[in-house]
Chains A and B, each alone.
Chain A
Amino acid sequence: MVGVVHYLVLSAAVFAIGVFGVMARSNALMFLMSVELMLNAANINLVAFSLHYGNLTGQVFALLVMALAAAEVAIGLGIILVLDRNFGDIDVTVPTTMRR
């Protein structure tokens, strides 16, 4: 029987993979994908607990999180595009114009 604890472990694993990606990758697109993993880890929790408690709050919120994740990616891709135009690279460690 798959219980709520299994989902919690799964979501924690997905979240941890996302955190690892954020820490270890310097490619801006990889960063976006990692953040997406972290948000989806939250969604797994929300849907699993929604079933566990028998109310729909969590499922509705999961839908909203998905919509917001899409909006965030749209803004992110725009910023990554101007990053590439200005610095010729999408490595997030390249721009250091302000550090002296």
Chain B
Amino acid sequence: MAAIELPTWAALAPALILAATALVLFLIDSIESEPDTTSPVLLTAVGLAGALGALAFNVWYLIADTGQNAPIELFGGQLMVDGMTLVLGTIVASVLALVVLASYDYIADDPYQAEYFSLLFLAATGMTLLGSVDSFVTAFLALELSSLPSYALVAYLKDNQGSVEAGLKYFLIGALSSAIFAYGISLIYGATGSLQFDAVAAAVDPTALPGILGVGIVMVAGGVAFKTAIVPFHFWAPEAYEGAPTPISAFLSSASKAAGFILAFRIFTTAFPIEAVATTIDWLVLFQALAVVTMVLGNFAAATQESVKRMLAYSSIGHAGYVLIALAALTPTANADLVLGAGMLHLLVYGFMNTGAFLFVGLAEYWDVGRTFEDYNGLAQEAPIASVAMTIFLFSLAGLPVGAGFLSKYVLFGAAVGAGLWWLAAVGAIASALSLFYYARVVKALWIEEPSQDFEIDTYPVGLYAAIIVAAVVTVLLLPGFGLVSEDAIAAAGALL
């Protein structure tokens, strides 16, 4: 039906474009006569073109139903492209475009900008590929491709103690969890003799070597839990998000988290379907427990923070708990398409509203406003447009119907109730109510409190402003447009099961 016949490998175009952009950025930097003199405008323009190109391909493929009727398999079944791949690609490319735009102002005075942008694109390539992995080999490779540049990016401000400390902690826990992930894969290989997802599912034999398989599954879940900052592996998240350059915090907490979840959806529905492994290890119970602990701990810790950025970091852990409901509620009675689709939708909406909220913090850092709630007092008088956007992000994160966060949470909790897990939805709803308290503290500081300091705001950075406004507009537009995207997401989930 397509007007243009593309070769099969073109299904990977979004990832290929991102990788090519990373290399082009390296090239531009290396042909400059003087080191580190590349124009930031050129770097940002190339980056933006790459990110939007990848986004365009993702959206085009989604509309043209590429791989959505039957997954496109590539490289002997190591990679595949289906609806979920494209949904993740859309999330990553959108967040990447916003982050590139915001970075133009945020790192304007820092050296090694070309390297910064290149690493950003390499990480984005890994995240996009995580959506199309079809074996544990490619899963491990894509996970590392997204993690390794991220470590360097978090420690990018290398004269800043906070940034270096954040990079160190992220790296230490990341290296540890990737070793655990690798060992888990080796045990699964030992139990099944294969690394392809579908071959693993076919070879799962609960009677032979149940111990090895069970430990392997738990270790793989641990590796994924690190990437998504789910509770036993969440320690790095507040430190890394607080110390990192703020656009990087936004990128990691939105795109990287989405990539980790999509990988989890893929592994636990394709390689370890619950009916095959239920007697070895019932991961439904595991994820239900983790979802409750993650939602409660993330939201309570967020409520006690003084720093706005750290509050957002903990709230990001809480949101990981909400999305985990999508896996925890895959009970036999559940409407599985709806449950998984709701998880993807929340990741999509979260990508915009959370990136926007972090970028507002980046804007405040750009103006040297300070980091606590009190420092934000009265900021709306100086920056009303950005403050309106921030208010939309925060209320949408809390689940009020000013942004699409309301609908995605509603569908998610509704799907959990439909799966017979009303208590899981109740915990989620209570956690959301609590989250309104600490999100509202920021809104109150912005609009109601009198300024506690004289702001020295003389410039309004174009890139940061544009990124924040675009994120806010999309967050609001997804409210009426929710039906449109939900169809694609639920269809993508349906193809998986």
Query: Using a CB–CB distance below 8 Å, which chain A residues touch chain B?
Result: 4, 8, 11, 15, 18, 22, 28, 31-32, 35, 38-39, 41-43, 45-46, 48-49, 52-53, 55, 57-58, 60-61, 64-65, 68, 71-72, 75-76, 78-80, 82-83, 85-87, 92, 95-98
Contacts and interface: CB of A to CB of B under 8 A. Distances in A.
Contact of A22 (B162, B176, B193): B176
Contacts of A28: 168, 172
Q: Which of A15, A22, A61, A85 has the most CB of B within 10 A?
A: A61
Contacts of A45: 183, 186-187, 189-190
Given A64-B141, A68-B141, A72-B148, A57 B186 contact: no
Nearest to B144: A68
A76 to B, nearest CB: 6
A49 B179 contact: no
B116 to A, nearest CB: 14
A39 B223 CA distance: 13
Interface in B333-369: none
The DSSP consensus for interface residues of chain A is helix
B155 A79 contact: yes
Given A76-B171, A98-B162, A98-B165, A82 B155 contact: yes
B64 to A, nearest CB: 33
B194 interface: yes
The size bracket of the interface on B is 35 or more
Given A49-B193, A78-B152, A83 B182 contact: no
Given A53-B193, A68-B144, A79 B183 contact: no
B215 to A, nearest CB: 10
B288 to A, nearest CB: 27
Interface in B174-195: 175-176, 178-180, 182-183, 185-187, 189-190, 193-195
B168 A42 contact: no
Interface in B149-163: 151-152, 155, 158-159, 161-162
B164 interface: yes
Contact of B144 (A53, A55, A72): A72
B300 interface: no
B120 to A, nearest CB: 15
B253 to A, nearest CB: 16
A55 to B, nearest CB: 7
B246 to A, nearest CB: 14
A95 B161 contact: yes
B239 interface: yes
A17 B194 CA distance: 27
B243 interface: yes
A42 B239 contact: no
Contact of A49 (B152, B189, B243): B189
B172 A92 contact: yes
A60 B185 CA distance: 13
Contact of B151 (A32, A41, A79): A79
B167 interface: yes
B194 A57 contact: yes
B183 A58 contact: no
A86 B159 contact: yes
A88 B465 CA distance: 38
Given A48-B190, A78-B155, 15 more contacts: A22-B176, A31-B172, A42-B179, A42-B183, A49-B186, A52-B190, A58-B189, A61-B136, A61-B140, A65-B140, A72-B178, A76-B175, A82-B164, A97-B162, A98-B162
A49 B154 CA distance: 37
A57 B154 CA distance: 34
Nearest to A55: B193
B171 A79 contact: yes
Nearest to B190: A49
B242 interface: yes
Contact of B164 (A46, A48, A83): A83
A64 B137 contact: yes
B186 A46 contact: yes
21 contacts: A8-B190, A22-B176, A28-B172, A38-B182, A41-B186, A42-B182, A45-B190, A52-B190, A58-B195, A61-B136, A65-B182, A68-B141, A72-B148, A72-B175, A83-B168, A86-B158, A87-B164, A95-B161, A95-B165, A97-B165, A98-B242
Contacts of B239: 98
Contacts of A86: 158-159, 161, 164
B179 A35 contact: yes
A75 B164 contact: no
Nearest to A62: B186
A39 B148 contact: no
Contacts of B180: 38
Contacts of A4: 190
A79 B193 contact: no
A68 B148 CA distance: 10
B144 A71 contact: yes
Q: Which of B137, B164, B185, B239 has the most CB of A within 10 A?
A: B164
B304 to A, nearest CB: 12
Given A35-B175, A82-B158, A57 B195 contact: yes
A92 B168 contact: yes
A61 B175 contact: no
Nearest to B178: A72
A78 B137 CA distance: 26
Nearest to B165: A95
Contacts of B148: 71-72, 75
Contacts of A64: 137, 140-141
